[in-house]
Structure formats: structure tokens, C-alpha cells
Structure 1
Amino acid sequence: MSSPPRPEGLRERKKARTRRTIQEQALRLFAERGYDETTVEQIAEASEISPSTFFRYFPSKEEVVAHDDHAPLLAAMLAEQPADLTPIPALRAAVRAAFAQLPHEEETRILARTRLQLRHAALRAKAVDNMICTIDVLAEGVARRAGLDVADPLSRTAAGAVVGAILPAMFAWAESDGAGRLADTVDEALALLETVLRP
């Protein structure tokens, strides 16, 4: 018989559910009322929490739009790639595998968030900040695979090139109203990157 979940595991799952509820309610309100017109207080009320609880999960309204949990999934998928793959093909395969696992409702949330980022300069800036964090996570994974220092230029350049290709692909996908699967759109962009960089 398996042992019961550890309390900290239950707490973390509860926090993740609350965070997801806040984001879902925020995105719904932004779609109905507009981003600028929606207040933190309204989001908190719709999420059945207090404004102070909202700020325990998200430091700002911008962060509600920017937040995702994809970096750990990308790192896990990168670690599973064959050791003989060079950085760009390994990153491409990892991204494809991670995005292919996203359920439909998560892809719908990504579409809503990306549309908002396209319309609001402050949200685009926040998206870039988050992409820098993703570069750090992927660079660490590339370095680990190659036995390099995490600050090695090769690791950061490869991760930066891949993330730099993903961002405009996601924006183009959002502008097309989510035509096609996001995994396919991003993979097409990374295939172009791989072709350009191939010796």
C-alpha cells in the first residue's frame, strides 16, 4: 500500500489550485470587462479570496497574466533527450514534448494570456522578463547535459536562441486566433532555427 501524501505535498497542490483559480478568474474578467477596467479586488472576489490573499500569490495584476509553470516541464523534457543530441536539436525536442503535453484548457489560457500581452506594452515587457527566467532554466539544463559550467556562453546562447524563436511564434499564433496546435507552431519556428544553424 502506498503511503499517504506528505502534508507539504498537499499544501503545494492546494496552492497550485488556488493560483490556477485566480488566473482563470482574472482571464475571464479581462475578457469580459477589459484588462485596464478589471481591478485586483474584482479578481479576488471572483476567486472567493481576499485582496491580501491575492497578493500572496501574485505581486501584481501583470503577474497574473505572465505566470506559468512551464519552465520546470521544459527542464524535465530536456533532461530526457538522448545524450548525443547537440543543444539546439535537444532543446527543440524538449520544447515539442513539453508543449504537446499541455491540455486543451491550458492552451486556451496561453492564448488568452498571449492576446493580452500583444495589446498591452507592460504585459509584453513582463513576458520578456519571464522569458529571461526560462533562458536561465534551459541554459542550466544544456550545461548539465554537456558537463559545462552554467555560465558557459554556449549554453546561454543556445537557450536564448530557442526562446527567442518561441516568443514571436507564440505571438503569431495568438494573432491567428490560435489556428493550429501551439506545439506545431512553435516546432515549425524551431525547425527553421535548426536549419539556419546547421553547418
Structure 2
Amino acid sequence: MSSPQRADRTSSPSDRAVTSLRERKKAKTRRTIQEQALRLFAEQGYDATTVEQIAEAAEVSPSTFFRYFPTKEDVVTQDDYDPILMEMLKAQPAGRPPLTALRAAFRTAFESMGAEELDKVLARTKLAISVPALRARTVEGMFATIDMLAGAVAEREGRDPHSPAVRTLVGAVMGVMLPALFTWVEQDGRTPLPVLLDEALGYLEAGLPI
């Protein structure tokens, strides 16, 4: 049996290139499935659209669809933004207060998205608000996001992620972001989402002045 060092030495550039290509293909397939799903939802409604129709439009089999998205709800509620947000948060200076760091991380993460990507987020958010089954899944996703952010903040500050201070801070961040998202949807994206989110987090950072 080869040692880890031996395996590392025998891993060739071509092997790494194949792995990278495979990951890019998987990401492309996932993106295509989601794009076609959002198009069909807009054209014929969420409830009227089947997984089979989405798979056909994306030129994949239904079984392939389920490898990427366990349910139809997941094609709306799942995204790849958490790793981006975590990367931006880790890039914040160590001495920066946690709320300031979170605000800067959210602003940088959303500003890095192009117009097309933000249009997809807007479409998904509209669905998540309007479809009852998706609202329930969205709430589940929010709890997962709170856990993720609590862990990241606790790591930065050397605190317990389950401490009331950490959980309250992260909960407050999520709380002020929700009205910003609702405003964005009501305005049909007229005011850029990064602007609305940064404004909301700025109010929180200032102590929520009225």
C-alpha cells in the first residue's frame, strides 16, 4: 500500500487536469439544470413544472437531475454562495469587529456577482417567497446559514459557536437582511441587492437608529 507521500509524488499534472475538468463539467451541468428549471418555472409556473421536464430541457436524465438536486425544491433553494461568503469572511482582518467583518464579507461577496447571476438570485428569491413549499425549505436553509456564520464568527473570536452572544449577533444579521431581500423583490431588482444589504447591515452596525 502506498504511503500518502508516495501517492502525492505519483499524482501527475494530467491527473489533476482531469479532476479539474471533471469538476468544471459538474459545475456546468448543475448550472444548466438550475437555469432551465428557472426558465420553465417562469414560463409555466413552479407547480406545473416537473422534474422530467427540467431534465429534458437541460438534456440530462431524471436520475442525473437527482444526483445534483435531491428534490425539485432544492433546485431553487440550493446555491454555491456559502463557500464564497466564507472565503470573503476569512479574508477580513483579524482585529476587525465581527459585525463589521460580516458586513464587508457580504458586500464583497454580492458585489462579485455579475448581473446575470443576480438575476438568477432574484428569480429564486421570488419563488422562495411565493411558493409555500419553498418558503418552508428556505427557513430550513436560514437555520443552516445561521449555524455556518456562527461557526465562522466563533472561530474568528475564539468563542463557543453556541454562545448566546454569537448566536444573537448572527441572528440579528439575518434578521435585518430579510427586509432588504423583500424590498429587492418588491422593487423587482431596481435597487441593487448589494446596496440594500449593505444599508441594512449599516443600520445594525450603527445600533438600529430610527
Judge same fold: TM > 0.5, yes or no.
yes
What's 1:133 paired with? Answer: 144
| Alignment deviations for residues 13-44 of structure 1 (CA, whole Å, 9 cap, x no partner) | 22111111100000000011111111111000
Specify which of 108, 131, 134 is matched with residue 119 of structure 2: 108
**Compared with structure 1, are the counterparts of its residues 133 and 7 closer, same or farther at alpha carbon in structure 2 (3 Å cutoff)?**
farther
1:82 aligns with 2:93: yes
* RMSD over equivalenced CA pairs, Å: 1.8
Return the offset for 1:75: 0.9
Specify which of 171, 178, 189 is matched with residue 160 of structure 1: 171
Structure 2: unaligned runs, 5 residues or longer: 1-12
| Bigger Rg, which one | 2
What is the number of residues matched between the two proteins? Answer: 197
SS in 1 for 2:40: helix
Quote the sequence identity (%).
58
What's 2:45 paired with? Answer: 34
The whole-number CA distance in structure 2 between the counterparts of 1:19 and 1:165 is 31
SS in 1 for 2:121: helix
Provide the TM-score with structure 1 as the length reference. Answer: 0.92
| Alignment deviations for residues 136-169 of structure 1 (CA, whole Å, 9 cap, x no partner) | 2211111111122333332222222212222231
SS in 1 for 2:207: helix
1:9 aligns with 2:16: no
The whole-number CA distance in structure 2 between the counterparts of 1:164 and 1:9 is 38
Provide the TM-score with structure 2 as the length reference. Answer: 0.87
The whole-number CA distance in structure 2 between the counterparts of 1:13 and 1:64 is 19
What's 1:170 paired with? Answer: 181
Structure 1: unaligned runs, 5 residues or longer: none
What's 1:22 paired with? Answer: 33
